[in-house]
Chain A
Amino acid sequence: MVIAPARLRPLLAVLPLGAALLMATSACGGSDAAAPAQSAASVTTEAAAPVSTEPAAPAAAESAPAAPGESAAAAPADPAVKEITVTIAGKKVTPPPDRIEVTKGQTVRITVTSDTADEAHLHGYDKEAELQPGTPASIEFVADQTGLFEMETHGSGLQLFQLVVR
């Protein structure tokens, strides 16, 4: 193999430098990404805390199903559980497909309500839920594998959301 010409060396010298920089920052990036997720978790804990003491809490809990646009509402019982609620009506997904971030090890509960009979499937984790018209179906699992996973329906072929596990 021909050794890199002398003129090429400054260029090649840049590479390990860049790789080292990257190593350093992607490690920081990882902790950056984790920080908001943790603070979000603590916020939900605070929000959930009054539930057990104040009598007004049931009203707040009842208002949650009335707003299907809320993709993430902390369950009063267990704030560590990530609740994801999706409604499908006339091939329209509410809330519209987006990325939902959870931290590795977190419990995720996905509730899907469809107006037609279908099957919802979370890729990668290979969790499935039979959907009956108008009846919410749930999947609960521990997100123990990092990556990006798509939640789809098999019959209508709709993407519901992308679960990002960091």
Chain B
Amino acid sequence: MPEDRLTRPIPQDPLKKHADDRGPSTPKVGKPGGDNELLRRLRKVDPDQAKRYRQRSGQ
């Protein structure tokens, strides 16, 4: 019912870590010297790549 929905509490975003640190985790990405694959690849990305990237509109 619409009325029920109006009073339904909006849940917190469970993907965001909260105070008790529950929620999913991803390999640490910003630590110098880290050795996971994500970090290795992030280091190789040109941080200006998106600034230069220009395409034509497609369908």
The answer to whether A binds B is no
